[in-house]
Amino acid sequence: MSATILFTIISLSAIGAVAAIILYFVAQKFKVYEDPRIDQVEELLPAANCGGCGFAGCRAFAEAMVKADVLSDYYCPVGGNEAMTAIADVLGKSVEAKDPLVAVVRCSGSPAHRERVNSYDGAASCAISSSLYSGETGCQYGCLGLGDCVDVCDFDAIYMDEETGLPIVVDDNCTACGACVKACPNDIIELRKKNKKDRKIFVSCVNHDKGGVAKKACSVACIGCSKCVKVCPFDAITMDNFLAYIDPNKCKLCRKCVTECPTGAILEINFPERKVKTEETAKKPVEKAENKEQDNN
């Protein structure tokens, strides 16, 4: 009996030793030199592997940055300026601070405002629905409500509101990686500057139809009346094909356009309560969105 045990131990140890020696030489022979800074840079990245930088994962991004001469084209939206400065220190290069961004959903077409005219019964995917037809409502531009943006978000930063059927961004979780922007077939989601206290003003509509058509399909659509363009003191608002757009870089958050908009298509979010009461109709949808947003924060 003891002889069996002894033989087993000896033979197994011998096999182990031989294998170890072979492995050692093979490892030596096939050793690939890797810049140690890649590991250092990777350490500093958030390891979210979200692809928000445009590379396939954090390591690929780190490799690209180590090779690059200047870092101006590289930015990790998840790590933000903090991570980028730390990486620049490691690589002995410099970076400029960028404004942090956040995703906003530019559609307020809840069933209350935008009537459903048919019912979609296919696979629950916006991509499939949009390739089939214009959607359940009369508006061919707005949110389809099937949640492709929610499916792609790695950070739990977006969810579907059950009542409105629209996606809601959780500002604190959003890293502006842009996955939802790419996933949305109707290009409703936009990355906008994250202002102080997460305040933002934007046109919550992407409908390019003429006023009457847009209004018929959805009561909170932008009808292209250009009132906001005229009232804006900073020339931040442009009108393109019956749709207003507020340039986040020019907008100074004065909120004049919000009260001017006849349909309430322009939203103000995370602002303190106004002192002067405005018209009921204009205020309604705004309040709604405001409350939602505060619930999340």
Structure tokens given for 196: 């102080």
Kindly state whether residue 117 participates in binding other proteins, applying the rule CB under 8 A.
yes
Give the gyration radius of the chain's Cα atoms.
Answer: 27
Kindly state whether residue 234 participates in binding other proteins, applying the rule CB under 8 A.
no
Angle 24-30-34 from CA coordinates, rounded to 5°: 110
Nearest residue to 41 (alpha-carbon basis) of 30, 55, 20: 55
Structure tokens given for 294: 């505060």
* Cβ–Cβ < 8 Å for 152, 54: no
Pick from 60, 127, 160, 253 the residue near other proteins by CB under 8 A: 127
Query: Which positions ≥6 away from 289 have C-beta within 8 Å?
Result: 108, 204, 267, 269
Using CB under 8 A, which of the segments 34-42, 48-56, 120-128, 253-261 binds other proteins?
Answer: 120-128
Q: From residue 84, how far is each of 54, 66, 81 by CA, in Å?
A: 15, 12, 5
Using CB under 8 A, which of the segments 29-37, 41-49, 133-141, 229-237 binds other proteins?
Answer: 133-141
Using CB under 8 A, which of the segments 20-28, 129-137, 173-181, 248-256 binds other proteins?
Answer: 129-137
Kindly state whether residue 140 participates in binding other proteins, applying the rule CB under 8 A.
yes
Helix (H) or strand (E) holding 245: strand 243-246
Kindly state whether residue 131 participates in binding other proteins, applying the rule CB under 8 A.
yes
Residue 128 CB, nearest distance to other proteins (Å)? 5
Handedness of CA 227, 230, 235, 238 (dihedral sign): positive
Kindly state whether residue 118 participates in binding other proteins, applying the rule CB under 8 A.
yes
Kindly state whether residue 120 participates in binding other proteins, applying the rule CB under 8 A.
yes
Residue 120 CB, nearest distance to other proteins (Å)? 5
Pick from 121, 273, 280, 295 the residue near other proteins by CB under 8 A: 121
Kindly state whether residue 187 participates in binding other proteins, applying the rule CB under 8 A.
no
Number of residues that bind other proteins (CB under 8 A): 18
Q: How far apart are CA 215 and CA 219, in angstroms?
A: 5
Residue 33 CB, nearest distance to other proteins (Å)? 30
Using CB under 8 A, which of the segments 115-123, 238-246, 258-266, 283-291 binds other proteins?
Answer: 115-123
Q: DSSP 3-state assignment of 183?
A: helix
Residue 84 CB, nearest distance to other proteins (Å)? 29
Structure tokens given for 161: 């509101």
List of residues contacting other proteins (CB under 8 A)? 116-123, 125, 127-128, 131-136, 140
